[in-house]
Homo-oligomer: A and B are copies of this chain.
């Protein structure tokens, strides 16, 4: 006997259109697989006229999201409005009615997760958020359920398709950042205002969600040391390649002595590592666990149908819980570690790529080596390119591990030296070891 569940969709934009299209295309398949029919009962959006490429019974439409939430025919609320305040209000409204909420709103969960998950618990219902990180990759589910018996030692992710597309194009076509960004905007891979992506905020939102889930406490956004890819110089991509590395926008989350290090930045990774082969708009996460070792999940991190797939997988989960009368069977987030501690970036031990601009005369390199040595930084490899222009030559150094603070201090000292022609460029290196 097939049961029917009513869905209320808030936000009929790109992903909302994908959800409607996915239901229309595969509702029968879903019903066969799960024994449940998912019926769209209300769709809320302010704009009724834009073409979403799917046909929809206009009787389902409303401009009032709270009307959709409160509709007695709506069993599950899907929030795809995006943004903060309005989304927060309707999600809170749905949870207060005991209705499970499926959302792709990473910013909202990263900023107000504590409040919303608390509300879900108090009202005996649940929040599902597979679509918030990694698009259609079944990542949240894998982390929370598939790896439930594992201590998460390290989690590294390429989580922003826009950044990865830009870095891939810059590398493959030897193009400068600004030109590739404009191309990405024209192709729809970057927003008109690209800051959220290229400055790393979006990646940081996702990192906060993954870290909170892995470590059982609400990791605050301001604990993420975030650097973006804005203005990245293509020479660094080329020098990195010469040295066997590729630059990826990486979220890195590590458990070190029971405290959590969390940072987002363009990072060099070994070109032969499987993460280096993640190209274009694809996302990937590699999770290192005490039981299973490395697990990698890879797929389309954004896009209409990919994100809709994650939303629908959550809808099915929520529907199963309703049918089996167990809405809190597997809570979306369990705050099990109230004493969770964040480790400041200054405590990190890292390896780095340094590009220095040095006066081309004898003895200069010795001065640099002395400064690095004083800060406990030793050199693993070195690359000096001949340069036809000016008196300063670029020198690239790959270091061994040292404290993040040591690097900051050494660079400050180096950049104040008279033989240095421009500020030192630095990227961290991740070896996945």
Contact A292 B306, beta carbon cutoff 8 Å: yes
* Nearest residue, chain B, Cβ from A272: B277
Given A292-B136, A293-B299, A329:B324 Cβ within 8 A? yes
* Distance, CA A367 to CA B34, complexed state (A): 57
* Nearest residue, chain B, Cβ from A327: B324
Min CB–CB distance A275 → chain B (angstroms): 10
Contact B295 A299, beta carbon cutoff 8 Å: yes
Is A330 on the interface with B (CB-CB < 8 A)? yes
Contact A294 B290, beta carbon cutoff 8 Å: no
Contact B25 A290, beta carbon cutoff 8 Å: yes
Min CB–CB distance A384 → chain B (angstroms): 31
Counting chain A residues whose Cβ lies within 8 A of the other chain, the interface size class is 35 or more
**Copies of this chain held together in the complex:** 2
* Distance, CA A336 to CA B35, complexed state (A): 9
Is A33 on the interface with B (CB-CB < 8 A)? yes
> Of B149, B292, B313, which contacts A149 at CB under 8 A?
B313
Contact B26 A150, beta carbon cutoff 8 Å: yes
Which of A73-81, A139-147, A186-194, A237-245 lies at the interface with chain B?
A139-147
Contact B329 A149, beta carbon cutoff 8 Å: no
Is A69 on the interface with B (CB-CB < 8 A)? no
Given A145-B313, A309-B150, A136:B300 Cβ within 8 A? no
Residues from 225 to 270 in A contacting B, C-beta threshold 8 Å: none
Is A151 on the interface with B (CB-CB < 8 A)? yes
* Nearest residue, chain B, Cβ from A291: B309
* Distance, CA A137 to CA B137, complexed state (A): 13
Contact A317 B150, beta carbon cutoff 8 Å: no
| In the complex, chain B residues whose CB is within 8 Å of the CB of A291 | 18, 22, 26, 136, 305-306, 308-309, 312
| In the complex, chain B residues whose CB is within 8 Å of the CB of A137 | 146, 292, 295
> Of B323, B326, B336, which contacts A33 at CB under 8 A?
B336
* Distance, CA A284 to CA B326, complexed state (A): 33
| In the complex, chain B residues whose CB is within 8 Å of the CB of A329 | 320-321, 323-324, 326, 329
* Distance, CA A305 to CA B329, complexed state (A): 26
| In the complex, chain B residues whose CB is within 8 Å of the CB of A313 | 145-149
Contact A138 B146, beta carbon cutoff 8 Å: yes
Interface of A is mostly: mixed
> Of B135, B274, B290, B323, which contacts A274 at CB under 8 A?
B274
* Nearest residue, chain B, Cβ from A334: B33
| In the complex, chain B residues whose CB is within 8 Å of the CB of A33 | 144, 148, 216, 334, 336
| In the complex, chain B residues whose CB is within 8 Å of the CB of A142 | 138, 141-142, 146, 297
Contact B312 A149, beta carbon cutoff 8 Å: yes
Contact A299 B294, beta carbon cutoff 8 Å: yes
Is A30 on the interface with B (CB-CB < 8 A)? yes
Given A216-B32, A216-B33, A138:B145 Cβ within 8 A? yes
* Nearest residue, chain B, Cβ from A152: B29
Residues from 302 to 352 in A contacting B, C-beta threshold 8 Å: 303, 305-306, 308-310, 312-313, 316-317, 320-321, 323-326, 329-330, 334, 336-337
Complex A-B, nearest 6 residue pairs according to Cβ-Cβ distance, in ascending order: A138-B146, A136-B292, A324-B326, A149-B312, A32-B336, A291-B309
30 A-B pairs (CB sep. < 8 Å): A22-B149, A32-B216, A32-B334, A33-B144, A33-B148, A130-B146, A135-B292, A136-B289, A138-B138, A138-B146, A138-B295, A141-B146, A142-B146, A146-B310, A148-B316, A149-B316, A274-B274, A274-B277, A274-B298, A291-B305, A294-B299, A294-B300, A295-B298, A295-B299, A296-B296, A296-B299, A298-B298, A323-B329, A324-B326, A324-B329
Q: Report A's interface with B, CB cutoff 8 A.
A: 18, 22, 25-26, 29-30, 32-35, 130, 135-138, 141-142, 144-151, 216, 272, 274, 277-278, 284, 289-300, 303, 305-306, 308-310, 312-313, 316-317, 320-321, 323-326, 329-330, 334, 336-337
Contacts beyond the supplied A142-B142, A277-B277, A293-B300: 15 A-B pairs with Cβ under 8 Å: A18-B291, A22-B291, A26-B149, A138-B145, A141-B142, A142-B297, A145-B313, A146-B313, A150-B309, A274-B274, A291-B309, A292-B300, A293-B305, A297-B297, A325-B326
